[in-house]
């Protein structure tokens, strides 16, 4: 059976499973639509949370960025994992104890203000739509490879499928679909990693293989990778940092606190019956997430090694990397190379006309001199970082069923988070904006319809921007995390842990944080990520304002949020006594029972 047929069969079976579950668990009420009826078992909720959490950015893009950023890419691991721990231990149980359906509901109650809820809705929409742009980028990558079409067609097909089961299933359908998607994506991620680790190191456990000897030599795998990349003019894999240590620190912090402010993950903790179950499901989710996050560094390193050694034979044999016979001929390129060329995500340009592929760092002036002496005229290959995980099993020549499984896993990851984000957007518009403020007489049926229309509009906008994203999938998601970090996270933290924070302070802090962050991000990435509208000069030699890139600026926005909030709080009326008492009761362990059903 051919590779493409195998992929169709495996992906088709998984899709049939998702659609069947979505139909079986179709939402029939607003409570089922928003919080799956509130009766999901903690283990299942942990799986669904993990699937919600591990988006296309985690499955498809993160290991690809690590593969090319080396040690610097570890910021994604530290930021996202640390953020989840922060969310699970500090925020989720308390938010669940409030017993509200959505994050803006929390703001309305805690800050005794419709205005605070409206500002929270706006922040939520900005962060969620930016996040879903990254997901649609991943959807486009996965579908373009699956269907062997260009990325534009891949995004459009992905939009249609996400729309189908997210719109009709609501949170109930999405929850049980995500349980199945978690099983598919984690198997798809781990199995090829085991195969490749066995091949490169002889150790079947990828996490241990990363620290093992390279097969047939006395060199450690990472030492071998350092040797390979430096022979082609790239920076050392194991020591390179992302721009600067300050930028890496702020970037990691931004991802960490942004995680704790993301509405689609927070909503997950409203789907279990009790506060105790929220804590349990958070623990299960952490375990499920850790499986992928501890595997990703090995996947990234091994993918990078396999890519270079496939294109330049001298990197394994120890020969001359400049010798023509060691650079493969374009006409002899492997099948995976041809298949990814179709998507437009792998591009070759024969700059010196020798018919061979020279892939190296032509920005390294010292190496460039040697390359020119060998007749090389510049790097000839552009590899989109987002393809590395999906292409990795093909590059490693794994069996067709493994390649099909990875394709199914990539699609599962991309679709699961996109659906969760659409639900967060839908509930923010139909429930928090329309039902609570603009149209209080809206019927339950009308609210459901409004939510589905909001989903449809959101996916069209995200799909359009996903065709021209501001960064790779994980980079775009990092911007979304920065927006959430600068706006929602400080207000939620102060809402839980500060009895004195009032509505004026919270509103002023959120506005200051998100306006500052958006101003900085749009300055470099373009207004609403539209190409050609950036108003800051292009960074020269990697220089940014304060040395911090836009993807990392959310942490500074969060700091500004805290400062403005406390200044304004001290200049305005104090918090009412009943609100201060409520905050005290929420943090106090007693009374942790079932949440109120009404809202």
Determine which of 185-194, 258-267, 458-467 has the lowest per-residue pLDDT on average.
258-267
The more confident residue out of 96 and 202 is: 202
Mean pLDDT value across residues 162-166: 70
Asked if residue 153 lies in contact with residue 1, where contact means CB atoms within 8 angstroms, the answer is no
Q: Which two tokens stand for residue 48?
A: 């669904």
Say yes or no to pLDDT of 333 above 60: yes
Angstrom distance (rounded) from CA 498 to CA 266: 20
Phi, psi angles (nearest 5°) of residue 55? -85, -170
List, in order, residues 6 or more apart from 195 with CB less than 8 Å away: 393, 396, 398, 402
Asked if residue 557 lies in contact with residue 127, where contact means CB atoms within 8 angstroms, the answer is no
Asked if residue 420 lies in contact with residue 262, where contact means CB atoms within 8 angstroms, the answer is no
Mean pLDDT value across residues 463-478: 76
- Write down the pLDDT at residue 562: 96
Q: How many residues does the chain have?
A: 599
Phi, psi angles (nearest 5°) of residue 91? -110, -50
Beta-carbon neighbour count of residue 425 at 10 Å?
A: 27
Phi, psi angles (nearest 5°) of residue 580? -60, -40
Q: Which two tokens stand for residue 441?
A: 């007489």
In tens, the pLDDT along 407-442 reads 888 887 777 677 777 777 777 788 778 877 778 787
- Write down the pLDDT at residue 597: 38
Asked if residue 158 lies in contact with residue 379, where contact means CB atoms within 8 angstroms, the answer is no
Distance of alpha carbon 412 from the chain centroid: 13
Is residue 237 helix, strand or coil? coil
Angstrom distance (rounded) from CA 29 to CA 36: 9
Angstrom distance (rounded) from CA 34 to CA 448: 10
Mean pLDDT value across residues 489-493: 91
- 438: which DSSP letter? I
Determine which of 106-110, 174-178, 354-358 has the lowest per-residue pLDDT on average.
174-178
Whether this prediction's pTM lies above 0.85 is answered by no
- Write down the pLDDT at residue 107: 87
Averaged pLDDT score across all residues of the chain:
83
Q: Which residues of 350-378 are buried (b: 16+ CB within 10 A; e: fewer)?
A: eeeebebbbbbebebeebbeebeeeebee
pLDDT confidence band for 486 (50 / 70 / 90): very high
Say yes or no to pLDDT of 544 above 90: no
Angstrom distance (rounded) from CA 445 to CA 422: 19
Closest CA to 35 of 281, 265, 259, 272: 272
Burial status of residue 545 (CB atoms within 10 A of its CB: 0-12, 13-18, 19 or more) = middle
Q: Where are the alpha helices (DSSP H) in 202-220?
A: 206-209
Mean pLDDT value across residues 230-251: 86
Angstrom distance (rounded) from CA 171 to CA 36: 5
The more confident residue out of 221 and 56 is: 221
């Amino acid at each position: 059976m051919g590779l493409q047929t195998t992929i169709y069969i495996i992906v088709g079976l998984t899709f049939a499973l998702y659609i069947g579950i979505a139909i079986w668990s179709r939402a029939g009420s607003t409570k089922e639509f928003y919080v799956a009826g509130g009766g999901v078992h903690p283990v299942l909720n942990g799986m669904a949370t993990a699937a919600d959490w591990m988006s296309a950015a985690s499955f498809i893009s993160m290991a690809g960025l690590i593969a090319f950023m080396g040690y610097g890419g570890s910021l994604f691991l530290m930021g996202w994992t640390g953020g989840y721990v922060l969310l699970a231990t500090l925020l989720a149980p308390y938010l669940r104890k409030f017993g509200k359906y959505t994050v803006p509901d929390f703001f309305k109650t805690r800050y005794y203000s419709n205005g605070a809820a409206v500002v929270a809705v706006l922040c939520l929409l900005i962060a969620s739509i930016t996040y879903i742009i990254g997901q649609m980028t991943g959807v486009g990558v996965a579908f373009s490879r699956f269907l062997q079409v260009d990325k534009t067609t891949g995004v459009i097909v992905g939009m249609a499928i996400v729309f189908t089961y997210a719109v009709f299933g609501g949170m109930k359908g999405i929850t049980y679909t995500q349980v199945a998607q978690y099983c598919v994506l984690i198997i798809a991620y781990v199995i090829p990693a085991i195969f490749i680790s066995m091949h490169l190191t002889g150790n079947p456990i990828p996490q241990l293989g990363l620290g093992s000897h390279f097969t047939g030599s006395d060199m450690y795998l990472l030492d071998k990778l350092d040797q390979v990349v430096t022979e082609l003019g790239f920076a050392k894999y194991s020591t390179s940092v992302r721009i600067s240590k300050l930028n890496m620190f702020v970037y990691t912090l931004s991802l960490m606190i942004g995680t704790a402010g993301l509405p689609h993950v927070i909503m997950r903790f409203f789907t279990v019956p009790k506060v105790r179950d929220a804590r349990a499901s958070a623990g299960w989710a952490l375990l499920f997430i850790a499986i992928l996050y501890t595997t990703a560094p090995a996947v990234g390193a091994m993918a990078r090694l396999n890519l270079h050694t496939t294109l330049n034979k001298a990197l394994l044999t120890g020969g001359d990397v400049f010798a023509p016979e060691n650079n493969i001929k374009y006409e002899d390129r492997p099948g995976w190379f041809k298949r990814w060329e179709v998507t437009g995500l792998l591009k070759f340009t024969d700059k010196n006309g020798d018919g061979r592929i020279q892939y190296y760092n032509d920005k390294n002036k010292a190496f460039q001199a040697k390359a020119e002496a060998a007749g090389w005229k510049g790097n000839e290959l552009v590899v989109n970082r987002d393809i590395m995980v999906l292409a990795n099993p093909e590059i490693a020549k794994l069996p067709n069923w493994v390649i099909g499984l990875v394709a199914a896993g990539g699609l599962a990851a991309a679709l699961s988070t996109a659906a969760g984000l659409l639900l967060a957007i839908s509930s923010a518009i139909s429930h928090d904006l329309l039902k609570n403020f603009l149209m209080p007489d809206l019927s339950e049926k009308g609210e459901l319809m409004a939510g589905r229309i909001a989903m449809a509009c959101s996916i069209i906008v995200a799909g359009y921007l996903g065709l021209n994203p501001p960064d790779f999938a994980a980079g775009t998601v990092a911007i979304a995390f920065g927006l959430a970090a600068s706006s929602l996270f400080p207000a939620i933290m102060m809402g839980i842990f500060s009895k004195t924070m009032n509505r004026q302070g919270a509103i002023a802090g959120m506005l200051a944080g998100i306006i500052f962050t958006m101003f900085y991000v749009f300055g470099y990435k373009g207004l609403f990520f539209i190409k050609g509208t950036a108003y800051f000069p292009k960074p020269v030699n990697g220089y940014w304002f304060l040395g911090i890139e836009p993807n990392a600026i959310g942490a500074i926005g969060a700091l500004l949020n805290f400062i403005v909030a406390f200044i304004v709080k001290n200049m305005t009326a104090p918090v009412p006594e009943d609100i201060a008492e409520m905050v005290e009761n929420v943090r106090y362990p007693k009374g942790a029972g079932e949440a109120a059903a009404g809202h």
